[in-house]
Amino acid sequence: MGLTLTEKILKNHLVEGRLVKGEEIAVRIDQTLTQDATGTMAYLEFESMGLDSVKTELSVAYIDHNTLQSGFMNADDHRFIQSAAEKFGLYFSKPGNGICHQVHLERFAVPGKTLIGSDSHTPTAGGMGMLAMGAGGLDVAVAMGGGAYYITMPKVYKINLTGKLSPFVSAKDIILEVLRRLTVKGGVGAVMEYGGEGIKSLTVPERATITNMGAELGATTSIFPSDEVTRDFLRAQNRESAFTYLSADEDAIYDKVVDINLDELEPMIACPHSPDNVVKVSELADKHIKVDQVCIGSCTNSSLTDLLKVAEILKGETVSDNVSLSISPGSRQVLSMLAQDGGFGDILGAGARFLECACGPCIGMGFSPNSGGVSLRTFNRNFEGRSGTPDGQVYLVSPETAAASALFGEITDPRKLPELRGKNNPEKRQLGRKMKVDIPETFLVDDNMIIKPKSLEDRINVETIKGPNIKGLPEAKPLGETMKNEVILKVGDNITTDHIMPAGSKILPYRSNIPHLSQYCFEVCDKSFPDRAKEKGGGIIIGGANYGQGSSREHAALVPLYLGVTAVITKSFARIHRANLINAGILPLEFEREEDYERISQGDELEIFGLQDGIDSGSFVAKVKPCDDKRGEFEVLLRCELSKRQRDILRAGGLLKYVGGR
């Protein structure tokens, strides 16, 4: 029986365990990346390990999230991360050089290698045949120190692409269609492996758009084969030596196959407030939905090919009077080449606003929509409040749909452009032919904003620089025999890490200050939660299905830990967040019977006995003492399937203590 591409790479990097689905395996990691919203914690954690150098083949620290430097906090974080990179031997990508995933794809990603990053969209590099996974900062720190990365051996789903995309239909529409079919929970415990004749017409940036947004499926990662398309991209980046052919065996067995005929695909749109709330653009186009704002960019759609398509649509046109249009190029390379090719002038001339080569609006760092405003974004997430405007109505679209809608001031099917704009301009009737943008023969390579690591001898006396906003890490207590706590919060299904620990310009500058961050914990769900948690001295959180989906930010575990949360009980967890809870020393429990979720109310008292035996068996019993007189005491059955390593981590009081005690 043949192997999938995923299985081949895992086999070549296997350190512990067996390639048996559902079992825990340990994987050797070749590369790591961090960004500044999560990087400070990762380097504080790495520093606490007492190592003098990273042990990976390559590790990169990027500055791309907190580039809005109002006050000293972000600048201090950047200075600390740069000093940590210098001290421990990492590459350092300066602010303004670009978004981590776009730059990594351009300059560092290698087919067949493994990569973990403290950002959930690290799978972007899967567009180049790399097994790239998002992880918590502490897992990245351990990998930088030479430790393995532990995951559950995933299932492998094949997304079989046939046919070829029509004009004005793009890679973004492919992944939106996958989300429409599988939902935000459809990829949990699986890798999405793309194949079929249809992939041959997709460039590496287009493939990266798809693997990037695979994170929204809850997937472990997504990956494409490495083929001649990959070679062309690497050659153009002056990195052809990194190329190798990689593909699944012809007789590989998949756990599921999803067939998508690209010939039949239409422009798609994800409606508020979930990436899987997807319909065809044509279904909304006749409803004349007014658009207030359009944002083009993010790690999903900010490549040169994306922006050249936008430039062609906007050339000689003017953005609607009622629309504010922003453009965030993914890297300095993209911006430089866009200017060189003339696309910059076409976009600027149409009335767009160019923003920095950074994440920006995608994480609520500026360019928030007006109250109740409709914002079309080429981003990967449209969670409620993520834009920085609590009642903002955010839709996710392709660059083509975004540009067309910016011109007409309402949600517009881009396939109508030749007809609508070609009446008085014959050149616009040929617009569809210009929507296929080939990779240039040579990219403009300028790495002078990437600081290379020095030799160990040259950095032996380097010290990290910590500003006053950088605080220490909260510590968990080793797990005892009994846990008796009040339920201090109950939330529903699909709670994201943005719900638990919001982003945005008000909060992101304090990513290094857990005590300050704590006042915003669960702000979207219940503004009184932080004060209640402090008043009660901590407690237990009850959640629904897919709890912790979204970003890999470990702050969503560290801040509840600081507030005294000892356990989170849910219907089910998202992969990365569950791992982060274990790393933080918080017990992640699931209901044995989902109906028990309905029986427990906020304010109830839970007592869980026999924790040590439960850790070993995976089964727990909790006695529930209701907070009212209408319900009598009752018991619920809980489960928590853990590997031996995870059991030891919880008993030790978190991963740092576990690593330090080995």
Q: How far is CA 26 from the centre of its chain?
A: 22
For residue 349, pLDDT beyond 90: yes
Q: What is the CA radius of gyration of the chain?
A: 24
pLDDT per position as a tens digit, 524-561: 899 999 999 999 999 999 999 999 998 888 999 999 99
Place of tokens 């050339």: 315
For residue 283, pLDDT beyond 60: yes
CA-based nearest residue to 62, from 46, 40, 47: 40
| CB-count burial class (<10 Å; 0-12, 13-18, 19+) for 624 | buried
Query: What is the 3-class SS of 549-560, one letter each residue?
Result: ECCCCCHHHHHH
pLDDT of res. 395: 98
pLDDT of res. 577: 95
For residue 662, pLDDT beyond 60: no
Q: Calculate what percentage of the chain has a pLDDT beyond 90.
A: 87
pLDDT band of 423, cuts 50, 70, 90: low
Low-confidence winner among 254-263, 280-289, 327-336, 496-505 (lowest mean pLDDT) = 496-505
Place of tokens 């950074």: 358
Going by the DSSP 8-state scheme, the letter that residue 426 receives in this structure is G
pLDDT per position as a tens digit, 200-251: 999 999 999 999 999 999 999 999 999 999 999 999 999 999 999 999 999 9
pLDDT band of 394, cuts 50, 70, 90: very high
Instruction: Provide mean pLDDT across the span 581-600.
Output: 96
Task: Label residue 466 left, alpha or beta by phi (over 0 means left) and psi (-120 to 50 means alpha).
Answer: beta
CA 170, 171, 176, 182 dihedral sign is positive
Instruction: Provide mean pLDDT across the span 359-371.
Output: 90
CATH architecture of 5-262: 2-Layer Sandwich (3.30)
Topology of the domain comprising 270-431:
Aconitase; domain 3 (3.30.499)
Mean pLDDT estimate for the chain: 94
Residue 348: which H helix or E strand, with range?
helix 343-349
pLDDT of res. 354: 97
For residue 517, pLDDT beyond 80: yes
pLDDT per position as a tens digit, 29-82: 999 999 999 999 999 999 999 999 999 999 999 999 988 878 898 999 999 999
Instruction: Provide mean pLDDT across the span 245-259.
Output: 97
Could you tell me the CA-to-CA distances from 386 to 33, 328, 367, 494 in Å, in that order? 23, 17, 12, 14
The residues pairing with 605 across neighbouring beta strands, listed in sequence order, are 486, 625
pLDDT per position as a tens digit, 289-338: 999 999 999 999 999 999 999 999 999 999 999 999 999 999 999 999 99
Q: Is the peptide bond preceding residue 273 cis, with omega within 30 degrees of 0? A: yes
pLDDT of res. 422: 65
- Would you list the domain boundaries of the chain? 5-262, 270-431, 483-661
Instruction: Provide mean pLDDT across the span 170-197.
Output: 97
Cβ proximity of 267 and 414 under 8 Å? yes
| Same fold yes or no, 5-262 and 270-431 | yes
Instruction: Provide mean pLDDT across the span 404-419.
Output: 94
How many CA within 13 A on the CB side of residue 547? 26
For residue 429, pLDDT beyond 80: no
Residue 283: which H helix or E strand, with range?
helix 281-285
Which two tokens mark 164?
């070829």
Tell me how far apart the alpha carbons of residues 452 and 533 are, in angstroms, rounded to a whole number: 44
CATH number for the domain whose boundaries are 483-661: 3.20.19.10
Tell me how far apart the alpha carbons of residues 488 and 484 are, in angstroms, rounded to a whole number: 12
pLDDT per position as a tens digit, 443-460: 999 999 999 999 999 998
